[in-house]
Structure 1
Amino acid sequence: MVAGTPGLVACISGRGELLRARAAGERLALLAAGLDGDPVSLLTRGQDLEAFRHYPAGDAYDLASHAQFYYHSHRDGEFGHIHLFQRPRGMSRGLRPAVAAGEADAPCHLIAVGFGVRGEAVELFTTNRWVTGEAWYRAEAVKAMVAGLRLAPSGPMAPVAEWLAALVAFYRPLIEVLVDERDRAVEAWRQAHPGRDELNDERLEITSSRVIDPAADLAGLVS
């Protein structure tokens, strides 16, 4: 974590939010302990990793909520990350993109989860629009989607989906801060690079990030 940037504990305000986060963290710990392997191994199902290939093939998609995720890595030696999205058909009425994509069903990217060498979650980060080709929603709309996330696809990816939903619920206060920081980073880039399309400028890729440790972060809430 960059010095001076708030972690989960610093993002929580009020006893109600603290109790909610603590309960979410305890549920996350139970789900993680109950997984038959780490999330990465379950998503890749023992296959050799290919750069940029999505795992599972065709992505994990919840037909009820229209949330979607996949795992991939960009290069050899990287431990990879999950990208989590919300499709429009599962959004609350009235949410509209600030910048639409080419297709009406283009998703909104909610958060990315980075993994370590043992398949453990070690980072949360947001990305610029060009990275995933998403429809671009302002921070307030993204935070509303995060708060209302439902993720329960059927099939073999269901345990990982349940774990991922619990991770998002636990870190929701931090994710909200990261989404706000994303918008500020993009605006700062626009001001510093006049005449360029800041959302499609490949020099700006990661727009905010934090190192995470679910067990330590939960301990920080109960100590």
Structure 2
Amino acid sequence: MTGGAGGLAACLSDRGDLLAARAAGERLMALSKALDSDPAVLLTQEQGVEAFRHYPAGDVYDLTSHAQYYYHSHRDGEFGHIHLFQRPRGMARGLAPVTPPKEADAPCHLIGVGLGPWGEAVELFTTNRWVTGEAWYPAEAVKTMVAGLRLAPPGPWLAVSQWLAGLVAFYRPLIEVLIDERDRAVEAWRMTHPGRDVFNDERLEITSTRTIDPAADLAQLGG
């Protein structure tokens, strides 16, 4: 697993990137203020959270873009996290998984978002294939999906979806670094564990991670 140093600011290569990140960060702040409550409360509808259960029931699915996400927790008392995916019908032409998936509609995991005690975003992370049962796409394909993410399903989850899309837009440069680190972590594991199926090796779970603080990260950019 990679928990490397260097946050969003370290991923911006020029003034154009900086200005784009500032604008995305300011939009994210506006979307955060527009939420009636924190994302976890909204997605669980203030229910008691049962370990491994998806919230909301049936996940949030954008029928136009075929992006999908859900919130869950692995154990009682954990603050939980969001898993964000892209289904094949919403992918750009020419993107293909490393190996053919068992299910034609198997999604690609884009990023995980860890939440804190008040439902705030505190972490970004990537996972090994077995964690979500995804189809495994190479880093460049996943980055293309992140760049093209559209997430605005009409109905009760619109505000949370817009917030999540805004978070991804703001942290896109960092997410791209995490996706590259994911592939490097998997390859390093493969080299040091010969004879094992790296994508199904449960000893490798989180493949890259960074702590985040949207307000502080925007302030660091001068926004």
Indicate whether the TM-score tops 0.5: yes
Unaligned runs of 5+ in 1: none
- 1:3 Cα deviation after fit: 8.2
1:113 aligned residue: 113
**Higher RCO (CA 8 Å, separation ≥ 6 residues):** 2
1:37-94 CA deviation, whole Å, 9 max, x = no partner? 0010000001110000000100000000000000000001210000000000000000
- 1:4 Cα deviation after fit: 5.8
1:10 aligned residue: 10
Unaligned runs of 5+ in 2: none
Among all aligned residue pairs of Structure 1 and Structure 2, give the percentage whose two residues are the same amino acid.
76
2:215 aligned residue: 215
Please tell me whether residue 148 in structure 1 is matched to residue 148 in structure 2. yes
- 1:102 Cα deviation after fit: 1.1
Closer, same or farther in 2 for the Cα pair 1:185/1:4, shift >3 Å? closer
Closer, same or farther in 2 for the Cα pair 1:120/1:132, shift >3 Å? same
**5 Å matches for 1:113-192?**
113-192=113-192
In the TM superposition, structure 1's runs of 4+ consecutive aligned residues that sit over 4 Å from their partners are: none
SS of match in other structure, 2:183: helix
The number of equivalent residue pairs is 222
- 1:100 Cα deviation after fit: 2.8
Q: Distance in 1 between matches of 2:4 and 2:206?
A: 18
Q: TM-score with structure 2 length normalisation?
A: 0.98
2:93 aligned residue: 93
**5 Å matches for 1:43-58?**
43-58=43-58
Q: Distance in 2 between matches of 1:78 and 1:101?
A: 31
Deviates more, 1:99-108 or 1:84-93: 99-108
- 1:5 Cα deviation after fit: 1.4
